[in-house]
Amino acid sequence: MTDERLAAFLGAEDPADEALPPGTPRPALTSISVRRSGNSVLASASLTLRGTHMSGQAVREDGDRERAIAQATLD
């Protein structure tokens, strides 16, 4: 199944297709890294918006890798 068909099936649209006023800045996710140590993971995420660089980190148990990435992105 293509990404477009999957998105249509799930009812999701591509955020790039959203109508935004010209010049509206969008954040650029510039890096994501995940490091394992024992039973935990350290996720780091960096993004840039309007020339401002922001970063976050989160530590979670190994089974919560996706949640750690999400938290690091929102931190």
Say which CATH number the domain at 28 has. 3.30.160
Mind listing the pLDDT tens digit of every residue in the chain (75 residues)?
566 666 666 666 666 666 778 888 888 889 999 999 999 999 999 999 888 999 999 999 988 888 999 899 887
Rg (CA), the chain: 16
Position 50 scores a pLDDT of 86
- Domain of 62 in residue numbering reads as 3-74
How deeply is 56 buried, as exposed, middle or buried, from its count of CB atoms within 10 A (0-12, 13-18, 19+)? middle
Position 60 scores a pLDDT of 94
Q: Give me the number of domains the chain comprises.
A: 1
Position 12 scores a pLDDT of 60
Position 11 scores a pLDDT of 63
Position 14 scores a pLDDT of 64
